[in-house]
Amino acid sequence: MKYKKINAKVGKYRVTIYEPKVAHSTKLGVVFGHCSPGAKEFYTWIGEDLASNGILTLLYSVPLMDQLSKEVSKIIRKIQGEEPPDRKFGLWLDGVRLSVAYLHNKYPTLKEIISIGHSMGGNACMGEIDGVDKVVALAPGWDSSGIPERGVVNDVSKTCNVPTLILMGSKDGITGEQASKNHYEQLPGKASLYIIPEGTHSKFMNNGLPYFIAKLLMEPEGDIPIEDQHAITIEKILGWIK
């Protein structure tokens, strides 16, 4: 194994740190935020792959998301046509802020910290966070409800001034292609958008779970194997941050 796995608490947030064996000389750190509903356990693959490439990686879990039974019920209500309750976007932003500060304090050799996230976590990683040098947003969402307080998830990309890469799948049936394009078009600084052919929203998560979620949300399957979507994601991330 090329890394050590450390579980810790940062405030009220559960975190897992994937620490390369040469952590004392590591120059790059990553903070990763999960989807809604979700938890850091849905994305162990990205921690393992990045740490195996020598990148210190911290995955955080939003406290609210530890109550997954409540969150899954929101999805079911959404499928049935009811508007889900507010998902407290600020909790994701706080997760990024606390995690970034924690890495800077614990690992002073870090030269850059990259904020990465999927879906709701992809929106949060574009927030104005001190100490973030680059961003990779995986299939960020876009709220079209017209409810003012929910518009914050759309506005984050307007003020994201660090280099930002957006990745999404061409068969994304959850946030959709237009959401990523909307964010890309309003990013003020250096930006890139890459659409993974036949990729889906769910296949940014661990193997096994995505198929359950895809079935629950009726997302198109997409022809790309999940392992290939993961490999392309890591390739694009490494090309962007190194």
pLDDT at residue 69 is higher than 50: no
- Residue 175's nearest CA partner among 140, 131, 146 is 140
In the chain, where are the structural domains located?
3-241
pLDDT of residue 212: 75
pLDDT of residue 85: 39
Q: Give Cα 107 to chain centroid, integer Å.
A: 22
Residues 224, 228: Cα–Cα separation, whole Å: 6
Residues 122, 125: Cα–Cα separation, whole Å: 5
**Per-residue model confidence as pLDDT tens digits over 10-50:** 999 999 999 998 766 689 999 999 998 788 999 999 999 99
Task: Please give the mean pLDDT across all residues of the chain.
Answer: 88
**Per-residue model confidence as pLDDT tens digits over 139-148:** 999 987 766 6
- The domain at 3-241 falls in which architecture? 3-Layer(aba) Sandwich (3.40)
**Per-residue model confidence as pLDDT tens digits over 200-238:** 999 999 988 767 777 677 788 889 999 999 999 999 999
Please give the full DSSP string across 122-154, using - where no structure is assigned.
HHHTTS--TT--EEEEES-----S--GGGTHHH
